Amino acid sequence: MINIKSKMKSFLYTVFLLILSVAGFSQQFSSVTRPNTPPKLVVGIVVDQMRYDYLMRYWSKFSENGFRRLVKGGLNCENAHYNYVPTYTGPGHASVYAGTTPAYHGIVANDWYSREEKKMVYCSEDLSVSAVGGNVLSGMMSPKRLMSSNISDELRLAYQKKSKVIGIAIKDRGAILPAGHMPDAAYWFDGKSSGNWMTSTYYMTDLPQWVKDFNAKGKAQEYLSKPWETLLPIESYTESTPDETAYEGLFKNETKPVFPHNLPEIAKLSGVGLLAATPFGNSLTCEFAMEAITGEKLGQDEYPDLLAVSFSSTDYVGHQFGTNAIETEDTYLRLDRNLADFMAFLDKNVGQKDYLIFLTADHGGAYNTTYMNDNRIPAGNYRLDSLKAGLGRFLKPFYGDSIITTITNDQVYFNKERMKKFYVNAKELEEKSIEFLMSQAGVTGVLNGYDIANQDYTEILNKKIKNGFLPARSGDLVVKYAPGWLEYGKTGTTHGSYYNYDTHVPMLWYGWKIPAGTISEYRRITDIAPTLSFILNIPLPNASTGEPIQAILQH
Strand partners, 46: 310, 360
Residue 429 contacts residue 440 (beta carbons within 8 Å): no
How far apart are alpha carbons 467 and 361 in whole angstroms? 18
- Residue 407's region, left for phi above 0, alpha for psi from -120 to 50, else beta, is beta
Phi and psi angles of residue 361, each rounded to the nearest 5 degrees, phi first: -135, 160
Distance CA 97, CA 383 (A): 32
Q: Name every residue whose Cβ is closer than 8 Å to that of residue 163 and which is 6 or more positions away in sequence.
A: 155, 156, 303, 304, 305, 306
Distance between CA atoms of residues 469 and 374, nearest Å? 35
β 355-361/185-189 pair status? unpaired
Q: Is 89 a catalytic residue?
A: yes
* Crossing angle of the two packed helices 151-158 and 528-536, in degrees rounded to 10: 10
What is the maximal distance between C-alpha atoms in the chain?
Answer: 104
Burial of 397 (0-12, 13-18, 19+ CB in 10 A): exposed
Q: Which of 89, 100, 370, 526 is catalytic?
A: 89
Q: Which residues 6+ apart lie within 8 Å of 383 measured at CB?
A: 487
HEC sequence for 155-172: HHHHCCCCCCEEEEECCH
For residue 189, give the nearest of 288, 90, 332, 109 by alpha carbon. 288
Cβ-proximal residues to 147 (8 Å cutoff; 6+ apart), any chain: 104, 105, 106, 543
Instruction: Confirm if 501 and 120 have CB atoms less than 8 A apart.
Output: no
| Cβ 484 vs Cβ 377: under 8 Å | yes
Give catalytic residues, as residue numbers: 89
